[in-house]
Structures are given as structure tokens and as C-alpha cells.
Amino acid sequence: MYVLSAILILTALGLLLGLSLGIAAKYLKVESDPLVERIEALMPGSQCGQCGFPGCRPAAEALVSGSAPVTLCPPGGSALVEQLARLLGVDVDLSNAQDQEAMVARVSEETCTGCTRCFKVCPTDAIVGAPKQIHAVVADACIGCKKCVAVCPTECLQMHPIEVTLRNWRWPKPLAA
Amino acid sequence: MKTSVISGPHVAAPRRVDQIMRQVIIALAPAVGFGVFLFGWPALYLLTVTVLSAMLFEAACLKLKGVAAAPSLRDGSAVLTGVLVAMTLPPWAPWWIGVSGSAIAIILGKQVYGGLGQNLFNPAMLARVALLISFPIEMTTWVNVTPLFTGPGLAESFALTFSGLPIPDAMTGATTLGMVKTGFSQNQILPQALGDYSGILAMIGWERGSLGETSGILLAVGGIALLRKGIIQWHAPVSLLATVALLSSIFHLWDSGHYLSPWVHLNSGALILVAFFIATDYVTSPNTPLGQLIFGTGCGLLIFVIRSWGGYPEGTGFAILLMNAVTPLIDHYIRPRIYGRYRNGKPLDISSS
Amino acid sequence: MLAFLENPRLRGGIHAEERKHLTSGQAIVTHFPLPKKLYIPVQQHVGKPAEPVVKVGDKVLKGQLLAHSQGAISAPVHAPTSGRIVDVKDFPAPHPSALPVRTVVIESDGKEEWLETFIPDDPFQLEPEEICMRVGGAGVVGLGGAVFPSAIKLNLGRKNNIHTLLINAGECEPYLTCDDRLMQEHANQIVAGIRLMLRGMMAPKAIIGIEDNKPEAFSAMQAACRDFPNITISQVPTRYPMGWDRQMLRYLTGLEIPADGRATDIGVVVHNIATAYAVYRAICLGQPLISRVVTVSGEAVANPINIELPIGTLMSEALAFCGVDKAKMARLVIGGPMMGDALPHADVPVVKACNGILALSHREIHEPETQACIRCSSCVTVCPVGLLPLEMASRIRVNQLEAAVDLGLKDCISCGSCSYICPSNIPLVHYFKFASGELVKRQQADHKAEQTKRLMDDRNQRMERIRLEAEAEAQRAQEARAARLAQQAAQQKQREQAEETV
């Protein structure tokens, strides 16, 4: 008798709770997923494609669906990883994270033919010049996407690390554990 | 891009970790020495085996971790843990109690958390509580005061500690707190339940009890020396002792038949040891002065509650472990006020003045 | 131990071995032989670098303007001696990285010919604005280490109707005694400088705070101030970082500056004692800031002294003058041992900010291995700001910078007390410097990302416009063709009709 009543009560309880959960899921549903927009806003937005997705929006969608790791975006660096981890509520070990060194393109003046191919592909208009004139890269606007390097017929565009000056010098991380 | 840029400061304070550990061991030395004198050779054997096994376990764990053991052993934290574990054991306990205690303290209490500075619970108190629950007989066999050279000789003591020679029943008895607890259960009331208790002898430490806990006065001297050297802060010990003293005074005045006087509380069990050496453990106590005050008060409260109404006669170990568990919480909420800000982190508002 | 008995106005801090006796007993040496070449960086202050007004080959006189200030926050630099400009080039700066900075190089002619300057008959009758202007024109900057242009602070003080000028004579760093000696030897001039500052800011009173380990300086200053009741001198306890202006202000006045505010918000301006002396020289003697007193000390120096050096002197020359033992020197530090920076080499110029050159021996820097944190919370006890250095560092170690910011990273003043006291020798302050730099870097990266987005939008719009224009063009062309065809068809039809009618 006791066993029976226990089974009955627990079954009833389960049914009731299940029903209320089902009702809650139906009526308190979140309409659209604002997470994708928020993540997209965090991303560099240069659509560089280094993550393997065709742009920042698809990458954000992949992040939300969980099919891409939060470390997918090299230009975003560890700052972006930290923000994404926070937003998505995942734990990520940043202790060994090492940002890749920021690079900018530079035109070698000896070999530039002024073919204008590079500034046609530059997504941020960071390359200035005119046909048959030597081109130059505005380092502040260059995002290091390397598209220009790929199209340059004379290999005069090369990636170089950003020059360290007193203004952008920063303390390195302490070596000790 | 890692470079060898060196940041200031280019001078450093002379005090290092190993020196701190050494100072604490020196501060404990009088009480330990007195314990060995009080309980004879078995106590010395137990102390030795506990300390050596603590170092051994530390070395083994570090080896497993793949780190060089020598520098960590040299910092003296394993020795200190060994000494503290031994101090909380019954002085004539068999060798395996000491070894188990060290194993629990070093392996479970410290290394599984990641080693020095990472543990949540005080290793010595963890060992004490684990042993008390696991081996209640061995952990409550309190030998009478048998000063060095009056008790068993070297060889007989060796047999007592290492080959299971039983301690004659005539040589054992109960601690003050245990005796009172038993007395209450037999419906005795206080002056009788205390038996032939002497307040002065209890203060000096001439009574049954753990190896290094009996002498309140010597422990207090060591603790005050550490305070003066600035190695420990006053907040936790003072708040702990004050809480116990205050609560016991109130209840003793209210019902002196069923509540021990503050004097008996302060001089019994591990209270002084815990106040100065365990509640001030860097790793497991809060970081801020206010946090330490809360921690000490909480410990004192729990100690009094367990001693007065709990099932065990002594509650220091449990009290410390419980408060250790809330230390992260205290540290999360109690933070110092930052210059130019209110406690909640908002910048000071000067527009009103 | 009895922290609860202590003054609530005084918080944290350490007492490091002072080692001031090495230099505190000797008079300031003023006969430093004039170097052959002087290297004067155009950026020796907070703000925009000065813009050179001289060309290579120009002859300059001592005190002549070399580079004028540009922008709202900047300061000019002047020639420390007479001679010829031989170069304007990039030269290593006195900075831990020793990266180059634009530097004017003067070859001295040894004549020390001063530029003619106007010296007012009674400087204390000058208009406040005029005082500020002259201080600014003389390139005076805060000589306590912050190197903020002094004239801006004076103007700010006047505009905010401040009630107190606090003169910081803490000099709490170990080894350094240059301010101590300056007070002992030039107390009257310093007081004149303070009076000029008061006039420049139209402030009613000044308080001078001197650490109680400098009794001679205290009595000298007291004697000099006797006739000026609006200048009071107070002794403050010797405890690093007493020279942190906010700490001294709280100790002396009980006032606390809000975390998001400035001293002027509570009616106070803080200036360094050496700055007061520089103000005196600028106005009463007409001399711009072209030299300063520097403590050269440390165990690797045979004759540790305070020495007046022209700005632009190479540190290696100053060290050689004091007899440095290079074999013994384990570290070269500019400034004090707590907040100063280690330099990779000594071939960098002395600048306005340089109050000390320390050649420290291995024994002095005493650098044991870093061990695990034992959570002793000494760092919490000594932090003058009220931070939790151990917690912040453990977050930064795993790159959780946001968490460190939540714990108050941005309030850290990098005084180094925590690193000093740490029994495990954890480079706490280094972690905080790294994190602060990293945060700036991230901010800049965010800024750049925003700009990138804008640039890309612009480009996309332009591309779209071009495409639309091209389409419109194509449309027009098509329409034109269609019209032409229609016309031809019509003509054809007409012709056919005409033929039919024929």
C-alpha cells in the first residue's frame, strides 16, 4: 500500500512538473537569438576569413551553435576570447594564450609597379596610390588580412611586425610562474 | 615576444617564505618541547615519525608532479605541517596514527589542491578530524602526565610507539573537556564534574591532553612572539579568544552548573594553539583584517557551540574546517576600501560638501 | 602589530632600508665638467613632444629655446649650454626599453654663454598669469617623477580657486637625497619659489610635508619660512610611499581625492619641492630648466654624491665622474629603487624626470627565486590604495584582465610595495604594469576595429555606388540602343510605307 501510494504520488508530481515546464517553454519563449548580434558586434568585423568562415556573421552563428571554439578569431586575440567566453559562459584556459604578433603590410618601393591590384582588394582602403605610381600602406588602417600580399604580382607587398616605439611599447608579461 | 625587461622595485624585503616557516616552528618549539618533557619518549618518537613522514609524503607528491622536491622541502612548510599534526595527536599514539595523519595532511590536505598556497582546508586540522572520526579509540587514549625519565625507558617507549605494546589502563584517563562531557551525561553538575581540576596546572599544561596542546601559556608566548615580529596579525586570534571568553562568561554566569567558566575554556583543548597558529594560517584564512575578524569570531562561536552542546568534547578542528570552507566567501565579499572610493567601489562623491 | 592604534589617515606602506646616508651628508656637487656633447630629447614631459626650432649647424646660447611646446599639454626644452647643433636624430631614451626618441644633439663650445633674458625687478609683483606663462616658457615640469607641465597645474589651480598648495617633500624612495640636500642648501630660494607659485595660483596658503627622517632639511625650511605665516611645514612619518601625493594629502589634511577626480576638485594642488626651486630659477634668475640635482648612488659607485647635471648629460659620463665599478654593477636604475626603471645601458641622457642614477650591486638587489604564493596577505596589508594584489596577480597570470579590473587594477599606483614585501618574491607590480599596458592595447585595438568597420562600410558603400552607377549606365545604354532600334524600325516602316504608296 505504502509502495503504491509513493509510486502514485511521485508519478503525479513528475507529470505535473513536466507539464508546467512544457507550458513555461511555450509561453516564456525567447523570440529570436540576440546572442548572434551581440557576438558579431564584438568581432573585428573585417570579414577576413581567417577563422574559416566566410565572414564575421557566419562565425558568430557558428559560435552560438557551439560548432566553433571561442578561440577561432586570430585578429581578435585573447581579449576577444575572454569576452566571448564570458558571453557564452564557457570556461577557457587563457594562461597559455599567446596573441599572434600584429602584422601590417608594407610596400617595397623597389619592386612596386603601380599595378593597383592591391588597393582594389584592400577591405579597409589602407593602400593609397594611383596607376603607375608606387603604392603605400597606411599602417594605422591596415588590419593585416594579407589579401594584398596574395594578389601582388611582384611580391613587393610583405607582412612586417608593427614597429615598436616609445609610444606603443608595453610591459611584457613577467616570465616567472 | 618575451623579453627580459625587469620591473621595479629593485630592492626586496629580507623576509622570505622559509624564514617565516622557521619562525613559526621556533615559536612552537617551547610548547612542543614541554609536551615531549611531559609525556616522555613515546611523544618524541611520535613527533619524529610524523615530521619525517610528512617530508617524505611531500617529496613523493612533488616527484609525482614532476617538480624538483628540494626547493619546496627547504621552505619548511612540510616540516611545519608535520609538527602541527603531531601536536594535535595523543602523545602515546602508535606510529601509524602519525604516519596516517601526515599522509592525510600532506596528500589530501595540501597536494591534491595543487600544493603550497592552494589548499582550502588547514592540513593539520583536516588530519586531526579525519583521524578522530576514523580511529576514535586511538585518538582518545590520553596518557597521564609521565615526565621524561619517570615513565617508560627508551626501549619500552619504542615498543609502545612502534610495535603495538598496549598502554596500561591505569596510565590513561580523560582530558578535562572529555571528563566534563562524560560527567554531564551522568547527570553530574559542574564543580563535581570537573573532578580535581586545577586552573594553574591547566594553564602551565600539567594535564592530560594532546602532545603539544596542553600548555596554554607556552603557546601564547610563542603566538605573541609571532605577533610582535609581524608574522601573524592580531585580528583572528583576538577575535577568536574574545568570542569564546565572552560566550562562556555569559553562559557561565547564567548557569554555572552546566557551562564551563571562561578560564577552563581558554586552558583546555587546542584553543590557544588554534587561535595563534591555525586560525592565522595564511593559506586558509581571509586576506583582509575585517575578514580575519569575522573568521576568528566564527571559529570562536563554533568552538563554543560544539564544546557546549555538540557530541564531541572538543570542537576546534571542526570549527576551523567549517570556517575554512567559508573563507573564499568572506574574501569575496569583504574587501578593503580603495582610496578615493566607497566600499561599494563607487568613486567618492564630493559635490555635496 | 597594533594596527588598530594607528592613524587612519595613514594606510599601508613599507619601511625599506633607507640607505640615504650614502649621500645625505655631502653638499651638492656643482663642478661637474661640461660634457662635449649633450643629448636633449624633445619629449621629457607628459603630453605632446616639443617641436624642434633649431637646425643642424645652428649656434645656440645657453638657455636658448631648442624645441617649442605644441598642443595643450606640452613643455619646451632649452639648450643646457652654448654650442652648435650637430644633429637632430633618434637616440635611446632613458626608458626600460631604451627605444629611440627624437633628440637634439649639441656640441658644447665650452663658453657657457647665456642668452640675455629679462629678469623682473620685483618678481612678486608680476601678474599671476605672467608667472604661469614664464613658468611654462621655462619648460618647468613636475620634478617628482610625474613630469606634468607645471604651468598647466598652476593655471588649473587659479581657475579652480584652490585653498591649499601642498608641497611634496616626501622623498620617500630609498637612496635618494637630492630634495633633502636641495632643502638644506637652498631653503630660501625654494620658499621664494613657493611664494611665486602661490601668487601664480592666487592661493592663500601652502603646506610643506617633509618626512621625519630629514630633520636638517626640516629645520632649514622652518627657518626660511619664518617670515611667511601662510606657509606651514609639517613633518610626516617616514613610510614609503609617503611621496604619493594622495597619501600625503590624506595624512596632512584628512582629505581624500575621489578615484575619478583630481586634487583641484577638492581645492588642492600638489607640487614637488624641486619644482618650487625650478620655478624660483625660472622667474627670479630667468633660467629655464636646463639642469637638475641628481642623486648618484648605489654600492657600485665609489663616490656616491648629489650632483647638479645639465639636462642631456649621458648617464655613463655622470657615473664615470662618480667612479662606477662596472664589474660590481648588477643593475642600473633611473629614479629610486622602488618605482625607478632598470636601464639596459648607461648611454642615455639625463632628463628632467631623472632624480636618481643608481648603480646597484648584486647584494643590494637581492633577488631570490620566485616561489608559490602562500596567501600571507602581506601585500594586502602594505597596499596604500587598499587593493588585493595577490588576487589581482592570480587573475592576470591566467590573462583574465577583466577580472583584475573588477578588483581595482586601474586604481593601482605601481608603487611596488607589494612586490617589495612579498616573501615569495612574486613580481606583483610587474603583473599590474603588464596588465595596464595590455588594457591600453586592447582599447586601441577596439578603436581600430571600430575604424576598420567604418572604413569597410565606406568602401562597401562606394562599391555599391559604383555598381549602381555602372548599372544605371548600362541601363541608359540599353535604353538608348532600344530607342535607336525603335527609330530605325520606324524609319524602316516609313520607308516601306513610302515604297508602298509609290
Tell me the domain boundaries of chain A.
34-88, 103-161
Cα–Cα dist C148/C501, whole Å: 101
Burial C90-100 (b: 16+ CB within 10 A, else e): ebbbbbbbbbe
CATH superfamily, domain A34-88, is Electron transport complex subunit B, putative Fe-S cluster (1.10.15.40)
Residue C397 has pLDDT above 80, yes or no: yes
CA-CA distance, B292 to C369, in Å (whole number)?
A: 29
Collect all residues of chain A within an 8 Å Cβ-Cβ radius of residue C427.
174, 176
Residue A63, pLDDT score: 85
Q: Which residues of C touch A94 (CB under 8 A)?
A: 398-400
Q: Which domains does chain C show, CATH number per domain?
A: 140-287 (3.40.50.11540), 315-365 (no CATH), 370-502 (1.10.1060)
Q: Cβ-count burial of B7 within 10 angstroms (0-12 exposed, 13-18 middle, 19+ buried)?
A: buried
Min Cα distance B3 → chain A (Å) is 7
- As for how many domains chain B has, the answer is 1
Greatest mean pLDDT among B146-150, C218-222, C371-375 lies in: C218-222
* Sign of the torsion angle spanned by Cα atoms C242, C243, C244, C247: positive
Question: Rounded mean pLDDT of A85-94?
Answer: 77
Residue A104 φ/ψ region, left for φ over 0, alpha for ψ in the -120 to 50 degree band, beta for the rest? beta
B143 in any annotated domain: yes
Give the integer Cα–Cα distance in Å for B152 and B166.
12
For residue B25, the tally of other CB atoms under 10 A from its CB is 18
CB contact A131 to C (< 8 Å): no
CA distance A72 to chain C (A): 17
In tens, the pLDDT along A63-79 reads 888 888 888 887 777 77
pLDDT value of residue B163: 87
Select the residue from C438, C440, C460, C466 to test the A interface by mutation, using most A Cβ atoms within 10 A. C438
Taking alpha carbons only, the member of C111, C102, C105, C104 closest to residue C61 is: C111
Evaluate whether C426 touches C393 at the Cβ level (below 8 Å): yes
Q: Any idea what the CATH number is for the domain that residue B159 is in?
A: 1.10.3430
Q: Is C212 left (phi over 0), alpha (psi -120 to 50) or beta?
A: alpha
Give Cα separations from B72 to B66, B125, C186 (angstroms): 12, 21, 54
Which run of H or E residues covers position A159?
Answer: strand A157-161
Q: For B340, which of C256, C375, C381 is closest by C-beta distance?
A: C256
Pairing of strands A136-137, A103-107: unpaired
Helix (H) / strand (E) containing A73: none
Measured in degrees and rounded to the nearest 5, phi and psi for residue C224 equal: -70, -25
Average pLDDT value for chain C: 92
| Alpha carbon distance B136, B102 (integer Å) | 17
Q: How confident is the model at residue A38 (pLDDT cuts 50, 70, 90)?
A: confident
> What Å distances lie between residue B330 and B134, B335, B336, C23, CA to CA?
30, 9, 12, 47
Domain that holds residue B176: 17-331
Asked whether residue B51 is assigned to any structural domain, the reply reads yes
The percent of residues above 90 in pLDDT, for chain C, comes to: 79
What is the structure's pLDDT at B252? Answer: 95
Q: What is the pLDDT of residue B2?
A: 37
pLDDT 10s digits, C468-490: 999 999 999 999 999 999 999 99
The second-level CATH assignment, the architecture, of A103-161 is 2-Layer Sandwich (3.30)
Instruction: Test A101 with B1 for CB contact under 8 angstroms.
Output: yes
pLDDT at C454: 83
* Sheet hosting strand C305-310, strand order edge to edge: C305-310, C291-297, C356-361, C329-334, C341-343
User: What pLDDT is recorded for position B130?
Assistant: 96
Burial group, residue B4, by CB count within 10 angstroms (0-12, 13-18, 19+):
exposed
> For residue range C285-318, what is the model confidence (pLDDT) as tens digits?
999 999 999 999 999 999 999 999 999 999 999 9
User: Domain for residue B11, yes or no?
Assistant: no
The size of chain A, in residues, is 177
Alpha-carbon distance of C278 to C312, in angstroms, equals 17
Q: Which chains touch A (3 or more CB pairs under 8 A)?
A: B, C
pLDDT the model gives residue A33: 64
Asked whether residue B336 is domain-assigned, the answer is no
Q: Which residue in chain B is spatially nearest to A175 when comparing CA positions?
A: B2
Q: Kindly report the three-state secondary structure assignment for every residue of C83-101.
A: EEEEEEEEEECCCCCCCEE
Interface of C with B in 367-396 (CB under 8 A): 367-369, 371-377, 380-381, 383-388, 390-391
**Does residue C4 carry a pLDDT above 60?**
no
**The pLDDT of residue C189 is above 90:** yes
Low-confidence ranges of chain B (pLDDT < 50): 1-3
Question: What per-residue confidence (pLDDT) applies to A82?
Answer: 81
C359 Cβ contact list (under 8 Å, min separation 6): C296, C297, C298, C299, C300, C301, C319, C324, C325, C328, C329, C331, C332
Q: Do A171 and B3 touch (CB under 8 A)?
A: no
- Write out pLDDT tens, residues B229-244: 999 999 999 999 999 9
C-chain residues near A79 (CB < 8 A): 401, 442, 445
Q: Cell numbers of C431, please?
A: 603583473
Longest dimension (CA), chain C: 131
